[in-house]
Structure formats: structure tokens, C-alpha cells
Structure 1
């Protein structure tokens, strides 16, 4: 795993394979390990970059209490891409990681050839929004612990909660997500007009098995805002990990390179 120094942080990342650059952006409390099942399959065709976002797992911050901003996370993505190749790249983004991908494309449209955004949780588009309140989750975290806060989050988001005790690294990541990332992600609204005018090909993916979940339904509406049909992938919100063998060929087909 390599380290890239960026303003205020150090990004731990891996670069594997050869061919066109494909960067994978994890969402929420996830780190680069989320892409382990699929990265090897993709590395047969692409130069695959996976990374821990700032504040997550091995990517440390100069100031752990600094307010997190989407534009800074998007700049991290840009710096990672530039560290590998200056050619237009491809991005596969998951869940909340789609937000910094949208931000990057909006402000650096020529940098990304194709963006596949898998289930961006743009739940403000829903007529009946899920009851996910970052302030309430912060209160639950302080009063009852991170397991209780994440249990409430998972239930509200329509995901199946594990219920088991969290490993120390995952506990740290989930605390960082609840305290610093959740509001940043939830407050972000893409500039749909700018995205449509960017010249970047944008594909919005949804899981075949996640219909009815807020992130799936919001992603379908976001695709409509962008004037594209959603692409249906194997599995659910994390299908790229749980169904990697079936997911990877479809992703390669959509990327078209």
C-alpha cells in the first residue's frame, strides 16, 4: 500500500493491474477493503486504484476534528488520479462516495471519461424521505455507543443490521462516519445541469436485489434527473463485493474499455 500526501491528510492507496485508469471510491464508513473481491478481476483490464478516504482506516488526518467537506474529498480523488496518470480516467463510486465523484466531474469535467455511480443515496429526491437524522444519530452515539447509532442508521436506510460487536478498526471508521461524514454526504446536492453538460458519461447503477431501499429508489430518480436509464447490477447495495464475479463483467461492459 502506497501513501500520497495531500493537504491535511495522508491517503493510503493501492495501484494494481495495467490499462486505463479506474479509481474506486468507497462510501460511508467503508475503506479500500470493500473493493478487494472485485479489484483483482478488474485489474486484468485496468490500472485499478483503491484507497482509504481521509479519516478512514489507514488514511490519517493532521486535524482529526476538522470539518469534512465534499470539495476536499473530491480534490483527494483528483490528486490520486494525477499521481497515476494524467489521461482521462474512469471512476466506479459506491453509495456516499458518489458525492465526491459528482463534485469532481462538476468542476473537472474533462478529467473523467466515465463515471459509474452505484446507488448514490440522494434521498432528498424521495417523496417519503427515510428518517435518517445525523443529529439524532450523534446523540445515540454519545448516549448509547456506536453500535446503537449504526443499528438505527442501518434500519432507517433499509439495510440489514449485523448485530455483532464491531472490530476496533470498523468501530473507529463508523464513529468517524457518524460524527464527520454523514451530514457532509446528506447535505450534498449534485448540480445536475453541470453534470449533464460535463461531457463525462455518467451511468447510475442500482442493485437488482435492493429495490425498495431508499438508496436504490433515490438512485433511480437521480438517473432520471440526469436523463439516463439506471443500469441494473447483480446483488444489492454492496453487490460489487458480495457478487463480484457476476458484477465485474457487467461493469467492464458498461465502461466499454
Structure 2
């Protein structure tokens, strides 16, 4: 791993930890879930050969502390955080942005509200379930997850959430876990501490977000919607596929599933480089 330059940025209600490495036009990587900046460890060096790559821990995650730990989390505020990083690191030139999962929702909002600062956006499986015809079912899922979290705790809530993300009719037993490299395994253990925040704050705030489809249509030449090739039929896959069809754009398929960034970093990083150039 290339040693990054690290810094902190004061934003409304939080202090963000960010890292930058490489040279060239700015590429901002927005993590999803509880991964933080470290979720991009497998791809940053390859990308830094072509870009100045900036990664960060979203507000409330890992090293990016909230002023109020109980504050409600909104997509618009997270997108403003990303914009402030763009402005700090590339004040005069538009940047490229990649977002994964909840980070892809942030990237979509950033595109629709700050398009003049963006050259290209790649959004991998943004779970914007409100665009789907069966959105009401997914609202019920989110409500069940929150109720379970309040009454039974974190792991039962995570089980309800995971079951809701499966393919329709998938009742198979969970597959054996993929053995991760030591660095990735250590990162996974560290991010467990962020799960209560994720399930209690990010999931309800982000999965109720409604993207501005008309604005996305107008900006579709700058947007790449992407999914994991192993995710077909799963809930995070469906909104991206729906939006790609609605916008009349090609849906890119990356190696692996929803977490292909971690399980197939080399192939994922190479296709991301291609998608950012096109």
C-alpha cells in the first residue's frame, strides 16, 4: 500500500478523516456500509497511477466523529460532505466520483445537486428502493429492521435486514464465508463497531431517499450505473437495473456481488478504471 497523505476537514456537525494518494485529476471514492476509507485498500494503488485518489470515513464512521452521536443522518448532508472534500482537493477542476452501496446513493445526490463539479460518476448498487414498483414492501422491511433493532438488538436486526436483501424465493442456507486476506479480515473486525450506527441511522435515512430521476436523465451522459454480476435478483441490484433501463443507459457488471470491491479487488479496480474513462 502507498502511504497516503491524511487530513481532517471540519463540516457541519462532524469532522471528517480523509486520505489522498497519487497524482492527476481527482477521483473521490465514497464508501458504503461500515467500510470507511479502508474499504478501498484493494484498489487505491492501481487507481493512484492515474488519479489523485481521495478516500474518507463518512460522518459517524470510524475516524470521522459526529458532534452529536444521536443525530439523524440524511443523504443531502453526506453529499454536502463529499462536495466539501471535492472543493478542498480540486477547487478549480471537476472530479470523478465512485460510490458503493450507501455511498452510491450519496454519489447520485451529489450528481443531481452539484453537476458542475463532476465529470463522471460511477454508482455501484445504490439501494434506492423507492424507485421500485414494490417500494412499499421495502419500507415495511426497513420498519421491521428498526423495530427488531429496538426490541431485540443488533444481530437479530441484521438477520432481518440480510434476509430482506436476498433474491426472491432464495431460502438456501448461507454459503461458506469467503476467506479474506489478513488485512481485509482485520478491517472487517474493526468495522463491526460501526454496525449499530449503520443499522440504526444510515439504513432508515438512506433507503428512504428518493433520487431526482428527471435530473439523472438530463445528466445520464456522466453517470455509469453498475452492479455485481453475482447480485442479479438481490434487492441492492434491482434499483440500479431499474434506473439504467429508465435512463436508457447500459448497466455495467462488475466481478462478484454487492461486496465485489472486497472479494475481487483486482478485477473490480480494473473495470472501474475503464468505466471512469469512458
- TM-score after normalising by structure 1: 0.91
- Out of 259, 263, 273, which is 1:238 matched to? 259
CA positional deviation for 1:101: 1.2
CA contact 1:122–1:222 (8 Å) conserved in 2: no
Structure 1 Cα separation of the partners of residues 96 and 207 of structure 2: 24
Question: Which consecutive aligned stretches of 4+ in structure 1 deviate over 6 angstroms post-superposition?
Answer: none
Q: CA deviation at 1:200?
A: 5.8
Q: CA contact under 8 A between 2:95 and 2:120: conserved in structure 1?
A: yes
What is the correspondence of 1:29-44 to structure 2 with a 5 Å cutoff?
29-44=34-49
C-alpha contact (below 8 Å) 2:13/2:66 kept by paired residues: yes
What SS does the aligned partner of 2:65 have? coil
> Where do residues 95-174 of structure 1 align in structure 2 (5 Å cutoff)?
95-128=101-134, 131=138, 133-158=141-166, 169-174=190-195
Aligned counterpart, 2:274: 253
What is the root-mean-square deviation in Å for CA atoms of aligned residues? 2.3
SS at match of 1:5: strand
Aligned mates of 2:176, 2:56 — CA distance in 1: 24
- 2:242 maps to which residue? 221
Q: Is the 2:16–2:63 Cα contact (8 Å) retained in structure 1?
A: yes
Q: Give CA deviations for 1:97-152 in whole Å, capped at 9, x if unaligned.
A: 12221111111111110000001112234445565633322222233221221122
**8 Å Cα contact 2:130-2:209 kept in structure 1:** no
The answer as to whether partners of 2:128 and 2:208 remain within 8 angstroms in 1 is no
Distance verdict in 2 for CA 1:239–1:188, change over 3 Å: same
Which of residues 93, 97, 100 in structure 2 aligns to 1:94? 100
After TM superposition, the structure 1 stretch with the greater mean CA deviation from structure 2, 168-177 or 89-98, is 168-177
Deviation at 1:17, TM superposition (A): 0.9
Match of 2:3 in 1: none
Q: Is the 8 A contact 1:112 1:200 kept in 2?
A: no
Deviation at 1:167, TM superposition (A): 7.5
SS in 2 for 1:213: coil
1:212 & 1:7 partners in 2: Cα distance? 38
The TM-score, its normalising length taken from structure 2, stands at: 0.84
Range that drifts further, 121-130 or 225-234: 121-130
Q: For residues 42-121 of structure 1, what are the structure 2 equivalents within 5 Å?
A: 42-86=47-91, 87-121=93-127
Deviation at residue 206 of structure 1 after TM alignment: 0.9
1:193 is aligned to: 214
Task: Please point out which of 20, 25, 33 is paired with 1:28.
Answer: 33
1:219 deviates by 1.1
Quote the Cα distance in structure 1 between the aligned partners of 2:150 and 2:216.
38
| Alignment correspondent of 1:178 | 199
Unpaired runs of 5+ residues, structure 2, are 1-5, 168-173, 178-186
